[in-house]
């Protein structure tokens, strides 16, 4: 009797050890009511007509003939006021009305713009730029509407130089590809085309590593075109991982960081409010994978895992909303109870008490990237939301600090 008991306890110990070394499996919840699901099959979208509006009565030109523009129509309503119409690519659509256009005049004058949104309300404070690179927020004395109004009304001081007016800074796919190329000059960074968008633009992934590629951190951004503050924080975050700090050098020897900074190039370049060129919110396509952009990322990551017997240890998807917050898995759903997200949040907030992130548990059912990480990759992930109006200098500093803190946490968790 003694020998079998020993064998049984040995088998039991092996099973216990095995189960501890395996990530916890959390499948997608079963579909009991399909009306709770978001259909992510492609739909028709409306393309804006690209044109330059010229109003000889007042000597003013307004154009949407550039990448990232959105202005569907424009009429003169009196000798100093233009009324613009801003439509989404299709609807229903999230309340994130993007607008961007360029104005110039044959003389110095003040012009009032009234923007009317179809299927939306005012959200983004107008940003102005003379060169398309440096942006300032409109002066509060020139803005005559508040968030959630159905229209926006503001005054612009025109002279002979063209001025860009936009919901947020215009940061196109092309600019992102150039950023990737610049970073990829470093010996430890490579970039790959992992697929193509609906309109044939490359979906680029960067790999930052000096490791054996078995431990992965995955970073996404720009599923939603207007979410510029999140994109900016991602840039600072990634540049810190690619930087020369002691922590970064140590981290790269242990981890591989896969970055897909531009998930929705078609939406970004066509000035969409939310969707890709298939008329779909990409961040609802992480369960059924009907769109090429999400499918490309999934295939790339799964192939990496299989080829090297690798594991994704954490995922971050950068976005923007009204305030700074982390959408987290519910505490009870954290695989293995690691709770990396709360550790990260607390350590960032310690350094930025004036601009803290709020934790928002958001369940495990939504068809979003965070839940794909959880259900298919069996790993913890967050939606990292940066406020629409968060100070851009803070964003830069906080992205750096968040990056250093996460590297330290992951190095400690996975020695």
Size, binding site for Zn ion by CB under 5 A? 3
Closer residue to Zn ion in complex, CB, 224/375: 224
The residue at minimum Cβ distance from Zn ion is 319
Q: Show the tokens assigned to 130.
A: 């003379």
For Zn ion, the binding residue among 122, 284, 319, 375 (CB under 5 A) is 319
Piece of 124-132, 169-177, 198-206, 222-230 that binds Zn ion (CB under 5 A): 222-230
- Establish if 284 lies at the interface with Zn ion (CB under 5 A): no
Burial degree of 358 (CB within 10 A; 0-12, 13-18, 19+): exposed
- What secondary structure letter does DSSP report for 74? E
Contacts of 284 (CB under 8 A, 6+ apart): 38, 40, 366, 367, 368
Give the strands of the sheet with 81-86, arranged side by side.
Answer: 73-78, 81-86, 109-117, 151-158
**What are all long-range contacts of 177-185, with beta carbons under 8 Å and residues at least 24 apart?**
177/202, 177/204, 177/262, 179/235, 179/261, 180/204, 180/206, 180/261, 183/208, 183/238, 183/239, 183/242
Toward Zn ion, which CB reaches closer, 128 or 381? Answer: 381
How far, in Å, CA of 359 to CA of 374, rounded?
Answer: 17
Stretch that binds Zn ion, among 153-161, 264-272, 316-324, 346-354 (CB under 5 A): 316-324
Applying CB under 5 A, the span of 67-75, 208-216, 290-298, 311-319 interacting with Zn ion comes to 311-319
E strand intervals along 222-357 = 256-260, 311-321, 325-328
CB of 53 to Zn ion, least distance (A): 31
- Find out whether 222 and 260 touch, Cβ atoms under 8 Å: no
Cα(392)–Cα(307) distance, integer angstroms: 40
Nearer to Zn ion, 215 or 383 (CB): 383
CB of 39 to Zn ion, least distance (A): 19
**C-beta of 126 vs 226, nearer to Zn ion:** 226
Taking the alpha carbons of 167, 169, 171, 172 in that order, is the dihedral positive or negative? Answer: positive
**What x/- string results for residues 181 through 200 when contact with Zn ion is judged by CB under 5 A?**
--------------------
CB of 277 to Zn ion, least distance (A): 17
User: What burial class does residue 1 get, using C-beta atoms within 10 Å of its C-beta: 0-12 exposed, 13-18 middle, 19+ buried?
Assistant: exposed
CB of 94 to Zn ion, least distance (A): 8
CA dist., res. 271 & res. 376, Å (int):
32
| Site for Zn ion contains 224 (CB under 5 A) | yes
Q: Which is nearer to Zn ion, 227 or 256 (CB)?
A: 227
Whichever of 235 and 407 has its CB closer to Zn ion, that residue is: 235
Q: Residues 147 to 176: which contact Zn ion by CB under 5 A?
A: none
- For Zn ion, what does the binding mask look like between residues 14 and 53, x meaning CB under 5 A? ----------------------------------------
**Residue 201 makes contact with Zn ion by CB under 5 A:** no
- Chain residues binding Zn ion by CB under 5 A are 224, 227, 319
């Amino acid at each position: 009797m003694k020998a079998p008991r020993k064998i049984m306890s040995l088998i039991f110990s092996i099973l216990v050890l095995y189960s501890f070394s395996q990530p916890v499996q959390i499948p997608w919840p079963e579909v009991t009511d399909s009306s709770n699901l978001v259909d992510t099959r492609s739909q028709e979208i409306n393309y804006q007509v690209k044109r330059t509006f010229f109003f000889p009565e007042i000597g003013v030109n307004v154009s949407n003939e550039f990448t990232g523009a959105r202005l569907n129509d424009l009429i003169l309503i009196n000798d100093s006021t233009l009324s613009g119409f801003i439509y989404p690519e299709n609807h229903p659509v999230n309340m994130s009305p993007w607008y961007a256009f360029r104005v110039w005049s044959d003389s110095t004058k003040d012009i009032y713009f009234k923007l009317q949104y179809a299927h939306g309300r005012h959200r983004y404070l107008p940003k102005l730029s003379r060169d398309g690179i440096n942006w300032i927020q409109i002066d509060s004395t020139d803005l005559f509407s508040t968030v959630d109004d159905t229209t926006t009304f503001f005054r612009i001081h025109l002279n002979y130089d063209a001025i860009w007016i936009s919901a947020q800074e215009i940061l196109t796919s092309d600019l992102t590809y150039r950023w990737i190329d610049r970073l990829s000059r470093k010996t430890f960074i490579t970039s790959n085309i992992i697929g193509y968008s609906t309109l044939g633009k490359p979906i680029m992934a960067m790999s930052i590593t000096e490791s054996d590629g078995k431990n992965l951190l995955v970073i996404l951004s720009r599923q939603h075109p207007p979410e510029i503050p999140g994109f900016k924080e991602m840039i600072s975050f990634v540049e810190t991982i690619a930087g020369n700090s002691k922590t970064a050098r140590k981290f790269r020897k242990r981890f591989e960081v896969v970055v897909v900074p531009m998930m929705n190039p078609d939406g970004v370049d066509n000035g969409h409010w939310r969707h890709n060129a298939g008329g779909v919110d990409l961040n609802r396509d992480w369960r059924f994978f009907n769109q090429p952009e999400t499918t490309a990322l999934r295939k790339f990551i799964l192939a990496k895992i299989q080829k090297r017997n690798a594991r994704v240890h954490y995922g971050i998807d950068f976005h923007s909303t009204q305030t700074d917050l982390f959408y987290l898995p519910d505490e009870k759903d954290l695989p293995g109870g690691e709770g990396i997200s709360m550790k990260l949040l607390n350590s960032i907030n310690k350094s930025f008490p004036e601009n803290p992130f709020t934790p928002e548990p958001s369940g495990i059912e939504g068809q979003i990237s965070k839940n794909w990480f959880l259900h298919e990759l069996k790993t913890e992930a967050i939606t990292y939301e940066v406020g629409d109006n968060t100070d851009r200098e803070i964003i830069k500093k906080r992205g750096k600090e968040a990056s250093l803190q996460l590297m330290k946490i992951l190095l400690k968790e996975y020695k």
